Amino acid sequence: MRYLIVGLGNPGKKYEGTRHNIGFAAVDLLAKKHGLEFRKSLKVQGARAEGMIAGEPCLLLKPLTFMNLSGESVALTMRYASIDLSSLLVLVDDVAIPLGEMRLKINSSAGGHNGLKSIEESLQTDRYARLRLGVGDCPRGPDDRGDLSSHVLGRFSSDEEKLIPALLKRAVETTELFITKGLTRAMDFANQRSIDSKHREVNE
């Protein structure tokens, strides 16, 4: 079985390090750990890295279509590489999950995320695994509304940055479990609350 691991984000230096690009950051770390190198592919409108992860053939993808059209690249890659839907995992940012936490789900809504909406439209299904990486909720103003676009396209504060390495490490470990042990084992690992979160709750 061949696996397709997709990290969502926006291409270009302008967006590096933003909350919206944490999916890119996660697959970059995965590729680095396993000695894989990304190369741009016009055929699939994305950057691809191919090789073995824990003895399994894998294809890593960073769509270069910008977030709102991510599905086009994913669908092209799945057709080109003959990827089964059960072998697809998408890593994506989520403002509804506390910073540093993550959730692995299948058959859940896009939750307003334009990248996931695009994938569902292109694949005509939501029955694929998605690992949602918590990037923190949008700060609220006096009218209880925040600028979501500025939030997700903004960068982490210096304090928030301290939580990112552990989040990316767990994202990589979750992906490896998905590949080697299957969805259920990966969900058991990913959906545990972090030690930092439990510690904060006890001390609040």
Tell me if residue 162 falls in helix, strand or coil.
coil
Contact by Cβ (8 Å): 9, 23: yes
- Side chain identity at 124, as an amino acid letter? Q
Residue 20 is a catalytic residue: yes
Contacts of 29 (CB under 8 A, 6+ apart): 168, 169, 171, 172
Among the listed residues 20, 113, 151, 199, the single catalytic one is 20
Q: How far is CA 171 from CA 79, 168, 178, 198, in A?
A: 26, 5, 10, 19
Active site residues: 20
